[in-house]
Amino acid sequence: AGADPTAYFTEVIDADQKVEPRDWMPEAYRRTLIRQIAQHAHSEIIGMQPEGNWITRAPSLKRKAILLAKVQDEAGHGLYLYAAAETLGVSRDDLVDLLLTGRQKYSSIFNYPTLSWADMGTIGWLVDGAAIVNQVPLCRCSYGPYARAMIRICKEESFHQRQGYEILYTLAHGTPAQREMAQDSVNRWWYPSLAMFGPPDQDSTHSAQSMAWKIKRFTNDELRQRFVDMCVGQAEALGLTLPDPALRWNDERGAYDFTQPDYEELLRVIKGEGPCNRQRMEHRRQAHQEGAWVRAAAAAYAAKQANKKEK
């Protein structure tokens, strides 16, 4: 490390090396990471609700055990990501407060309702599938703790994606009513899943700077295209269709043409006007309040242990 921390930071980024918590970094780089990692953590925590809705109604003990394990993994990802954000000098209490007071966002996708059991399959296939396409490049993010957290999270997401795919495959090859339930579910989740990648590049506030800092490795539109290209073959293998009549292979581009999601709707959902925003936040606030005694007990125990050591 030279005497000039700014030059050293630039060198590290240019050489594709990792920035670590104790290294000097521009304040805006720190702020962008806190924003993205915290919002990612909030998404995992709020993201437990749509699937939590079906745990007691899973069609078999085996399905229930698997779904329970998946939702627990999401809690784990949330805590893992809060820990990564804490390395940037923020406290978890403050981050939770930013979520509960609506000053930080979470992913738009979790503001849609889970109306049928097939939605557990579609969330695994499409929502976790989109999460993987978005997160695999984050394993190469320039900030060390975030990149390393992503490696384990992506492995678990792959399991989640496969379990969803298997639920949908079973339904798609079941009775006509089950098949119809699977198709209806895919029809409802397709466009909200495309919107997970964020606004189109020309409207993305942070992309250019985040790409320059190698936090993001691909733009929102690049990843959305990659996701569409991946899903077409998988839908065929499932025996289901994607609800887009304009979906067509484009030989010149070497990619599928597709209909963009409704970005006005994305903006409304982000602003809090999605079908379930209010319910998700109320549920989270209530859970936080009901957990107050656990936090108080843990703090009291820690104080007691610290006291013992002093004596």
Considering only residues 116, 134, 185, 225, which one is a binding residue for ligand FAQ as defined by CB under 6 A? Answer: 134
Taking the complex as a whole, the smallest distance from the CB of residue 184 to ligand FAQ amounts, in Å, to 19
Site track for ligand FAQ across 17-36, x = CB under 6 A? ------------------xx
Of 4, 86, 82, nearest to 41 by C-alpha is 82
Considering only residues 30, 64, 105, 288, which one is a binding residue for ligand FAQ as defined by CB under 6 A? Answer: 105
Handedness of CA 87, 46, 128, 259 (dihedral sign): negative
- Judge residue 25's burial from the number of C-beta atoms within 10 Å of its C-beta, 0-12 exposed, 13-18 middle, 19 or more buried: buried
Considering only residues 29, 34, 58, 74, which one is a binding residue for ligand FAQ as defined by CB under 6 A? Answer: 74
Q: Using CB positions, name the residue nearest to ligand FAQ.
A: 47
Residue for token digits 């993010």? 141
Considering only residues 43, 122, 142, 161, which one is a binding residue for ligand FAQ as defined by CB under 6 A? Answer: 43
Taking the complex as a whole, the smallest distance from the CB of residue 9 to ligand FAQ amounts, in Å, to 20
* 8 A C-beta contact, residue 262 and residue 191: yes
Taking the complex as a whole, the smallest distance from the CB of residue 35 to ligand FAQ amounts, in Å, to 5
**Which stretch, 4-12, 104-112, 144-152, 225-233, contacts ligand FAQ (CB under 6 A)?**
104-112
Residues 202-241 that bind ligand FAQ (CB under 6 A): 204-207, 210, 220
Taking the complex as a whole, the smallest distance from the CB of residue 229 to ligand FAQ amounts, in Å, to 18
250 phi/psi in degrees, rounded to 5:
-115, 105
**Pair of tokens at residue 228:** 């569409």
Return all residues near 303 (Cβ < 8 A) that are at least 6 apart: none
Integer Cα distance of 60 and 64 in angstroms: 6
* 8 A C-beta contact, residue 190 and residue 112: no
Nearer to ligand FAQ, 180 or 221 (CB): 221
Considering only residues 49, 107, 114, 185, which one is a binding residue for ligand FAQ as defined by CB under 6 A? Answer: 107
| Number of amino acids touching ligand FAQ (CB under 6 A) | 28
Residue 39 interacts with ligand FAQ (CB under 6 A): yes or no: yes
Residues 170-199 that bind ligand FAQ (CB under 6 A): 195-199
β-pairing, 248-250 vs 255-257, is antiparallel
Taking the complex as a whole, the smallest distance from the CB of residue 40 to ligand FAQ amounts, in Å, to 4
Taking the complex as a whole, the smallest distance from the CB of residue 14 to ligand FAQ amounts, in Å, to 21
Integer Cα distance of 126 and 66 in angstroms: 18
**Pair of tokens at residue 295:** 């936090």
Integer Cα distance of 264 and 287 in angstroms: 31
Integer Cα distance of 206 and 39 in angstroms: 14
Q: Which residues bind ligand FAQ (CB under 6 A)?
A: 35-36, 39-40, 43-44, 47, 74, 105, 107-108, 123, 127-128, 131, 134, 195-199, 204-207, 210, 220, 270
